[in-house]
Chains A and B, each alone.
Chain A
């Protein structure tokens, strides 16, 4: 069995230095663009087609005083990926054996269904190329044994890369440590509702993930579940008239989106 790779984000160690943001831009040869002032240290209000990794900054008042939370936001590489369920274009979205959800630009038809399907609101349609983009977990680097660019850059070891099983263990241990230090709400955020994510978070205030900009209860929309569930063939028909393909696909794979490498 191939190991599923994962990224651990220990938000208690994030200093908002944005090394991960620039590492992502630089490695992926993204164009830089100028921002508009929006009363925040955050680079831009939200992810963009050319910006896949954004640290969200939140100023929060807690009884003990001001709190400034910083948490990196990007594709969560869900085990049960809404984008993948929703995508009608052959080979445009793939789940690699190591768990990485990768968008393949040349196969993307720009329909934007993946955007609807994503419970974390991650994929972005580029008006320039009419294709959808998001973090690839640096599949090119991972393929040759390097860590994703964001993880390599992170100076405070807020980011760690490894097998999902190991990181899940480390994350739980760290959360326990934080609870012992008196942060009773500390815990791990592991994509509830999508079968777990290959991006794990350690949060001081795990009971309020929305403080970090993370959805409390992420869910794949029922329309998408339906679409890629019993009514999947309809999608095929509408989009490609590929009935035959759909039937063969059904025969071969079945309607379930299980890991083929299990």
Chain B
């Protein structure tokens, strides 16, 4: 989240789209209810289903899964057509005035630079027009035809209310009613927030979708404002933290993984340290060398010296065009190219797309190590044929599966200390309440034993790749069982000579005199102690920032981009909702997302970006500088905007035996998968309460479709996709309205996740159905909007 849960109560309009917080984040949703009670805020809910969030909304719009960019593009068009943007904000805080090079354009589904043979873009025509000093040319009036503002207007001119209704499947009136509410926040004294979740990320065009939301919020002046922002409601306790720590094929702190052509540390730093594009851009990433060298010192300790590039050569390198992410390594695994998989608490057989492919891939491994609280479908994948009802009759029997499996019992949350980062970026420390049951061990003990045993084998026997393994520091008081306090202090970092903990990332050095495991966590464990364990409940601004409760990255900042909450002179857009105040010599309030003593005019408000301002136009993503509506990989219609380029041309396509895609003639209905409030993912099927509240898997079928098919409530139905099928009772409901798209009726079917072949309650894995289709930027699978057929079982 740019803002945070507590901040939602500052909003005037709350757009919930691509999420269902009343069901999936009920406690976070209390701030929505508070905004409604306290400020008479309006709740707009856009969702294929009339959910429990919709049930308490002021305005509900039904939509076809996978058409969010059309809807958001329609809002952008509506705001531009009706002159509802916050003009001064847009001129001051976005790249609207920036000029783009001559030659950029968009036609028939492709931006300029499309290379059919490569299946990708040459992005050179997307770049800014630079002056002789290397800065971008601007037109403060926004009138230049090649200004970002005019290009934006042109791009979204096609997204008229009629076009939106035709793609999305709602009525034009429904769209306009929502648009009027949302656009009402384009005033200095009104703010609107957006809450989204996996309904936005699980698409083959997810990153561009969220970009569209950012554009919308920037036009309305809602970024940096209390009650504003673009807010991802993350679905698990610490996936935010895992991302911060580099789980997405990165190094900690969002530093990029080195590539093979970055032969030296200097090459790496040159390629990854951006240059300011405007004279007033602070361009905080210019500190990349300090972040990187301090990380290498944390990793390689004494073995990292200026002479050996601080151990840079020990890091694994990826090829220029290689991708080692989820989609790709499971694909390679399914072709027998991997030998081992180690899973610390993840269950890919249940939660990865295309279960049959997951199972087949695991069966090709030599060995599998799973560290878990409960037996999972992944650990026991070799039992799928036996336990998986009729769903995996084609899968190998245990005798045929040569994978050697280890299932290690781990401590659960209550038995461990350490920190979780919530969606608000609040890093909250927890303490262990009791020891793990039986012989179960903590994660740190298991990781350490694996590493130390391996190190000692290499010390005894030698072997390939010994150096990177042996040089990795594991410098803890008890290396076999590091205390997480020690690890947290290492993540925060320290001055190596004085051994003083760092106060802030500004203290980092690139000469090797500081070490820091993750620069964005500098300040989380200072000489004053563990900041993440703080329990202060004060709220001096009255905005729900709670600066003394836990610690928020970066720098304990509670609202990102908060400098944008004020105008050029530093005057807040809304004096009652000012997270920052400038007193002539310094900023006070929230930790400023700005230099603390820099005058309002001196720097751009978006300090992390080389532009110094926010990007309405961004050449950073694969599909183009502006989000464009593409249909899901499986869709009941061809893209009404450009039939020939119907789906995201950059979405990766796999061609293995499991990667079948279906067509509307065989699979006429749109399916979505989702969570229910009563369950948590694939865990609570092990827990009694979840199994009581929602014992049974079911399929939600619109009343009209049920009538057409002769299906009555409770009838057993089979839902089939090109990959597999599921079966369960039909929950016949009015809450999924049939939609009119391109002049025909489109039905959507809802399929809750949560069941599997291991657990207290069992049911089909819904990922039997889902396709191996991914967003090209994020690698997230397309679970919202794929095609199925429905029949009575």
Residue of B nearest to A19 (CB): B26
**How many Å lie between the Cα of A16 and that of B677 in the bound state?**
9
Indicate whether A37 sits within 8 Å of B56 (C-beta atoms), given known contacts A17-B23, A17-B26: no
Q: Closest CB of chain B to A177's CB: distance in Å?
A: 9
Per-position binary interface string of chain B over residues 29-58, scored 1 when its CB falls under 8 Å from any chain A CB and 0 otherwise: 110011001000000000000101111100
Indicate whether A16 sits within 8 Å of B52 (C-beta atoms), given known contacts A37-B729, A157-B33: yes
Assess the A35–B696 pair: CB atoms within 8 A.
yes
A140 interface hit (Cβ, 8 Å):
no
**How many Å lie between the Cα of A17 and that of B676 in the bound state?**
9
Residues in B neighbouring A66, C-beta threshold 8 A: 50, 734-735, 737
B288 interface hit (Cβ, 8 Å):
no
Stretch at the interface among B346-354, B381-389, B686-694: B686-694
B732 interface hit (Cβ, 8 Å):
yes
Residues in A neighbouring B734, C-beta threshold 8 A: 59, 61, 66
**How many Å lie between the Cα of A65 and that of B29 in the bound state?**
23
Per-position binary interface string of chain A over residues 148-159, scored 1 when its CB falls under 8 Å from any chain B CB and 0 otherwise: 000000011100
Assess the B30–A155 pair: CB atoms within 8 A.
yes
Known: A39-B714, A41-B676, A157-B34. 16 other contacts (CB 8 A): A13-B37, A15-B29, A15-B677, A16-B22, A17-B23, A26-B689, A35-B693, A35-B696, A37-B714, A37-B731, A38-B714, A39-B729, A43-B678, A66-B734, A68-B735, A156-B26
Q: Closest CB of chain B to A53's CB: distance in Å?
A: 12
Per-position binary interface string of chain B over residues 361-394, scored 1 when its CB falls under 8 Å from any chain A CB and 0 otherwise: 0000000000000000000000000000000000
Complex A-B: 20 CB contacts under 8 Å: A13-B37, A13-B56, A15-B23, A15-B26, A15-B33, A15-B55, A16-B677, A33-B692, A34-B695, A35-B694, A37-B698, A39-B732, A40-B731, A59-B734, A59-B735, A61-B734, A66-B734, A68-B50, A156-B29, A157-B30
Q: Is the interface of A mostly helix, strand, loop or mixed?
A: loop
Per-position binary interface string of chain A over residues 126-156, scored 1 when its CB falls under 8 Å from any chain B CB and 0 otherwise: 0000000000000000000000000000011
Q: Closest CB of chain A to B736's CB: distance in Å?
A: 10
Residues in B neighbouring A67, C-beta threshold 8 A: 55
B713 interface hit (Cβ, 8 Å):
yes
Q: Closest CB of chain B to A126's CB: distance in Å?
A: 16
A32 interface hit (Cβ, 8 Å):
yes
B196 interface hit (Cβ, 8 Å):
no
**How many Å lie between the Cα of A233 and that of B612 in the bound state?**
87
Per-position binary interface string of chain A over residues 34-52, scored 1 when its CB falls under 8 Å from any chain B CB and 0 otherwise: 1111111101000000000
Interface size for chain A: under 10, 10 to 19, 20 to 34, or 35 or more residues?
20 to 34
**How many Å lie between the Cα of A160 and that of B611 in the bound state?**
50
Per-position binary interface string of chain A over residues 58-82, scored 1 when its CB falls under 8 Å from any chain B CB and 0 otherwise: 0101000111111000000000000
A22 interface hit (Cβ, 8 Å):
yes
Assess the A155–B692 pair: CB atoms within 8 A.
no
Assess the A22–B696 pair: CB atoms within 8 A.
no
B150 interface hit (Cβ, 8 Å):
no
Which residue, of A33, A38, A41, A65, has the highest number of chain B Cβ atoms within 10 A?
A: A41
A124 interface hit (Cβ, 8 Å):
no
A4 interface hit (Cβ, 8 Å):
no
Residue of A nearest to B678 (CB): A18
Residue of A nearest to B703 (CB): A59
Q: Closest CB of chain B to A58's CB: distance in Å?
A: 10
Assess the A36–B695 pair: CB atoms within 8 A.
yes
A163 interface hit (Cβ, 8 Å):
no
Residue of A nearest to B24 (CB): A17
Q: Closest CB of chain A to B129's CB: distance in Å?
A: 49
B442 interface hit (Cβ, 8 Å):
no
Residues in A neighbouring B330, C-beta threshold 8 A: none
Assess the A15–B22 pair: CB atoms within 8 A.
yes
Residues in A neighbouring B272, C-beta threshold 8 A: none
B27 interface hit (Cβ, 8 Å):
yes
Residues in A neighbouring B52, C-beta threshold 8 A: 15-17, 41, 68, 70
Residues in B neighbouring A28, C-beta threshold 8 A: none
Per-position binary interface string of chain A over residues 2-39, scored 1 when its CB falls under 8 Å from any chain B CB and 0 otherwise: 00000000001111111101100110000011111111
Assess the A34–B33 pair: CB atoms within 8 A.
no
